[in-house]
A and B are shown apart, each in its own frame.
Chain A
Amino acid sequence: MRQASEIESVPAGNAPTLCAKGLSKVYGAITVLSDVTLDIHAGQVHAIIGENGAGKSTLMKLLSGHVTPTAGGLQMEGQAVAFADAVEAENAGVVLVHQEILLAPDLTVAQNIFLGREIRRGFMVDDRAMNRRAAELLARVGATARPHDLVGDLPLAQRQLVQIARALLDERKVVIFDEPTAMLANEEVAALLEIIRGLREHGVAVLYISHRLDEVQAIADRITVLRDGRMIGSWPAAELSQRQMAELMVGRQLDMLYPDKREVQTQAPLLLVTDLEVDQGAQKASFFVRPGEVLGLGGMIGSGRTELIEGLMGLRPSQAASVVVNGAEVTRRSVASLMAAGLVYLTEDRKGKGLLLDERLAPNLTLQALASLNPGLLLDRRSEMDCLRKAVAEYDIRVRSLALEAGKLSGGNQQKLLLAKVMMTNPSVVIIDEPTRGIDIGNKSQIYDFIDAMVRAGKACIVISSEMQELVGLADRVLVMRAGRVVAELSGDEINEENIVYAATSNAHGGTGEDSHDRSDGARRDA
Chain B
Amino acid sequence: MTAATEPVATPDAGRRIRWADLAPFIALGVIVFLGILINSNFASSANIINVITRSAFIAIIAVGATFVISSGGLDLSVGSMMAFVTGLMIMTMNGLAPTYGNWAIVMGAGVALVVGGLCGLFNGLIITLGRIEPFIVTLGTMGIFRAFITFMSDGGSLPIDRSLRAAYRPVYFGDFMGIPYPVLITLGVILLGAFLLYRTKYGRHLTSLGSNAEVARFSGVNVSRVRTLAYVIQGLCVAVAAICYVPRLGAATPTTGQLWELQVITAVVIGGTLLRGGRGRIWGSVAGALILEVIANVMVLSDMVSEYLVAAVQGAIIIIAMLAHRFTSSR
A interface residues, Cβ below 8 angstroms from B: 30-32, 52-53, 55, 57-58, 228-229, 315, 334-336, 339, 345, 347, 349, 352-360, 362-363, 367-368, 370-371, 374, 377-379, 385, 389, 392, 396, 398-403, 408-410, 413, 421
What distance in Å separates the Cβ of A15 from its nearest Cβ neighbour in chain B?
A: 32
Given the known interface contacts A229-B2, A409-B4, the answer about A402 and B12 at a Cβ–Cβ threshold of 8 Å is yes
What distance in Å separates the Cβ of A372 from its nearest Cβ neighbour in chain B?
A: 11
State whether A378 touches B1 (Cβ < 8 A): no
Interface centre among B2, B219, B221 (most CB of A within 10 A): B219
Q: A504 vs B14: C-alpha distance in the bound complex, in angstroms? A: 48
Listed by A's residue number, 18 A-B pairs whose Cβ atoms lie within 8 Å are A315-B218, A336-B222, A349-B214, A352-B212, A353-B212, A353-B217, A356-B215, A359-B211, A367-B208, A367-B221, A378-B200, A379-B200, A398-B6, A399-B9, A400-B8, A400-B9, A402-B14, A403-B14
Q: Decide if B178 is an interface residue (CB 8 Å cutoff).
A: no
What distance in Å separates the Cβ of A232 from its nearest Cβ neighbour in chain B?
A: 15
Q: Decide if B328 is an interface residue (CB 8 Å cutoff).
A: no
What distance in Å separates the Cβ of A325 from its nearest Cβ neighbour in chain B?
A: 14
Interface centre among B3, B201, B220 (most CB of A within 10 A): B220
State whether A379 touches B201 (Cβ < 8 A): yes
Q: A401 vs B8: C-alpha distance in the bound complex, in angstroms? A: 7
State whether B1 touches A55 (Cβ < 8 A): yes
Interface centre among A31, A398, A413 (most CB of B within 10 A): A398
Given the known interface contacts A354-B215, A356-B212, A400-B8, the answer about A368 and B220 at a Cβ–Cβ threshold of 8 Å is yes
State whether B201 touches A398 (Cβ < 8 A): no
User: Which residue on chain B has the smallest CB distance to residue A442?
Assistant: B5
State whether A353 touches B214 (Cβ < 8 A): yes
Q: Which residues of chain B (7-66) have a CB below 8 Å from chain A? A: 7-14, 16
* Additional pairs, 17, CB under 8 Å, beyond known A335-B220, A359-B278, A403-B16: A32-B2, A55-B1, A229-B2, A335-B218, A336-B222, A353-B217, A356-B215, A359-B207, A368-B219, A371-B201, A379-B198, A398-B4, A398-B7, A399-B7, A400-B3, A408-B4, A410-B5
User: Which residue on chain A has the smallest CB distance to residue B205?
Assistant: A370
User: Which residue on chain B has the smallest CB distance to residue A28?
Assistant: B3
State whether B13 touches A402 (Cβ < 8 A): yes
B interface residues, Cβ below 8 angstroms from A: 1-14, 16, 198-201, 203-205, 207-208, 211-212, 214-222, 278-279
Q: What chain A residues lie within 8 Å of B7 (beta carbons)?
A: 396, 398-399
State whether B219 touches A402 (Cβ < 8 A): no
Q: A345 vs B221: C-alpha distance in the bound complex, in angstroms? A: 14
Q: A345 vs B220: C-alpha distance in the bound complex, in angstroms? A: 10
State whether B2 touches A30 (Cβ < 8 A): yes
State whether B199 touches A339 (Cβ < 8 A): no
Q: What chain B residues lie within 8 Å of A32 (beta carbons)?
A: 1-2
Q: What chain B residues lie within 8 Å of A400 (beta carbons)?
A: 3-4, 6, 8-10
Q: What chain A residues lie within 8 Å of B6 (beta carbons)?
A: 398, 400
Q: What chain B residues lie within 8 Å of A357 (beta carbons)?
A: 212
State whether A58 touches B1 (Cβ < 8 A): yes
User: Which residue on chain B has the smallest CB distance to residue A425?
Assistant: B220
User: Which residue on chain A has the smallest CB distance to residue B216?
Assistant: A367
Q: What chain B residues lie within 8 Å of A421 (beta carbons)?
A: 219
State whether A377 touches B200 (Cβ < 8 A): yes
Q: What chain B residues lie within 8 Å of A378 (beta carbons)?
A: 199-200
Q: A401 vs B4: C-alpha distance in the bound complex, in angstroms? A: 9
Q: What chain A residues lie within 8 Å of B3 (beta carbons)?
A: 30, 400
Q: What chain A residues lie within 8 Å of B212 (beta carbons)?
A: 352-353, 356-357
What distance in Å separates the Cβ of A46 from its nearest Cβ neighbour in chain B?
A: 22
User: Which residue on chain B has the smallest CB distance to residue A392?
Assistant: B9
Q: What chain B residues lie within 8 Å of A377 (beta carbons)?
A: 200-201
Q: A498 vs B11: C-alpha distance in the bound complex, in angstroms? A: 50
Q: A522 vs B53: C-alpha distance in the bound complex, in angstroms? A: 73
Contact partner of B10 among A345, A363, A402, A409, CB < 8 A?
A402
State whether B218 touches A385 (Cβ < 8 A): no
What distance in Å separates the Cβ of A312 from its nearest Cβ neighbour in chain B?
A: 13
Q: What chain B residues lie within 8 Å of A356 (beta carbons)?
A: 208, 211-212, 215, 278
Given the known interface contacts A356-B278, A385-B12, the answer about A228 and B220 at a Cβ–Cβ threshold of 8 Å is no
State whether A354 touches B218 (Cβ < 8 A): yes
Q: A352 vs B214: C-alpha distance in the bound complex, in angstroms? A: 7
State whether B218 touches A363 (Cβ < 8 A): no
Closest 10 A/B residue pairs (Cβ): A335-B220, A403-B13, A336-B220, A368-B219, A53-B1, A403-B14, A356-B211, A353-B214, A410-B4, A353-B218
State whether B4 touches A53 (Cβ < 8 A): yes
Q: A363 vs B13: C-alpha distance in the bound complex, in angstroms? A: 15
State whether A363 touches B4 (Cβ < 8 A): no
User: Which residue on chain B has the smallest CB distance to residue A350?
Assistant: B215
What distance in Å separates the Cβ of B325 from its nearest Cβ neighbour in chain A?
A: 15
State whether A379 touches B204 (Cβ < 8 A): yes
User: Which residue on chain B has the smallest CB distance to residue A408?
Assistant: B4
State whether B199 touches A353 (Cβ < 8 A): no
Q: A345 vs B218: C-alpha distance in the bound complex, in angstroms? A: 8
Q: A403 vs B222: C-alpha distance in the bound complex, in angstroms? A: 27
Q: A263 vs B277: C-alpha distance in the bound complex, in angstroms? A: 49
Q: A229 vs B14: C-alpha distance in the bound complex, in angstroms? A: 30
What distance in Å separates the Cβ of B198 from its nearest Cβ neighbour in chain A?
A: 8
Given the known interface contacts A30-B3, A356-B211, A402-B11, the answer about A370 and B218 at a Cβ–Cβ threshold of 8 Å is no
Q: A384 vs B16: C-alpha distance in the bound complex, in angstroms? A: 17
Q: A359 vs B8: C-alpha distance in the bound complex, in angstroms? A: 20
Q: A354 vs B212: C-alpha distance in the bound complex, in angstroms? A: 9
What distance in Å separates the Cβ of B266 from its nearest Cβ neighbour in chain A?
A: 23
Q: A230 vs B231: C-alpha distance in the bound complex, in angstroms? A: 54
State whether A370 touches B201 (Cβ < 8 A): yes
Contact partner of B5 among A367, A398, A401, CB < 8 A?
A398
State whether B2 touches A52 (Cβ < 8 A): no
Q: What chain B residues lie within 8 Å of A229 (beta carbons)?
A: 2
What distance in Å separates the Cβ of A400 from its nearest Cβ neighbour in chain B?
A: 6
Q: A409 vs B259: C-alpha distance in the bound complex, in angstroms? A: 44
State whether B220 touches A334 (Cβ < 8 A): yes
Contact partner of A53 among B2, B16, B214, CB < 8 A?
B2
Interface centre among B14, B211, B216 (most CB of A within 10 A): B14
Q: A315 vs B218: C-alpha distance in the bound complex, in angstroms? A: 7
What distance in Å separates the Cβ of B331 from its nearest Cβ neighbour in chain A?
A: 12
Given the known interface contacts A374-B201, A400-B8, the answer about A367 and B219 at a Cβ–Cβ threshold of 8 Å is yes
Q: What chain A residues lie within 8 Å of B208 (beta carbons)?
A: 356, 359, 363, 367
What distance in Å separates the Cβ of B227 from its nearest Cβ neighbour in chain A?
A: 16
What distance in Å separates the Cβ of A335 from its nearest Cβ neighbour in chain B?
A: 4
State whether B278 touches A358 (Cβ < 8 A): yes
What distance in Å separates the Cβ of A473 from its nearest Cβ neighbour in chain B?
A: 25
Q: What chain B residues lie within 8 Å of A410 (beta carbons)?
A: 1, 4-5
Q: What chain A residues lie within 8 Å of B200 (beta carbons)?
A: 377-379
Q: A25 vs B222: C-alpha distance in the bound complex, in angstroms? A: 45
Q: What chain A residues lie within 8 Å of B218 (beta carbons)?
A: 315, 335, 345, 347, 353-354
Q: A58 vs B12: C-alpha distance in the bound complex, in angstroms? A: 31
State whether A355 touches B220 (Cβ < 8 A): no
State whether B204 touches A389 (Cβ < 8 A): no
Q: What chain A residues lie within 8 Å of B205 (beta carbons)?
A: 370
User: Which residue on chain B has the smallest CB distance to residue A52?
Assistant: B1
Q: A392 vs B10: C-alpha distance in the bound complex, in angstroms? A: 12
Q: What chain B residues lie within 8 Å of A371 (beta carbons)?
A: 201
User: Which residue on chain A has the smallest CB distance to residue B276?
Assistant: A358
State whether A401 touches B220 (Cβ < 8 A): no
Q: A367 vs B210: C-alpha distance in the bound complex, in angstroms? A: 13
Q: A509 vs B152: C-alpha distance in the bound complex, in angstroms? A: 72
What distance in Å separates the Cβ of B225 from its nearest Cβ neighbour in chain A?
A: 11
User: Which residue on chain A has the smallest CB distance to residue B1?
Assistant: A53
What distance in Å separates the Cβ of A89 from its nearest Cβ neighbour in chain B?
A: 22
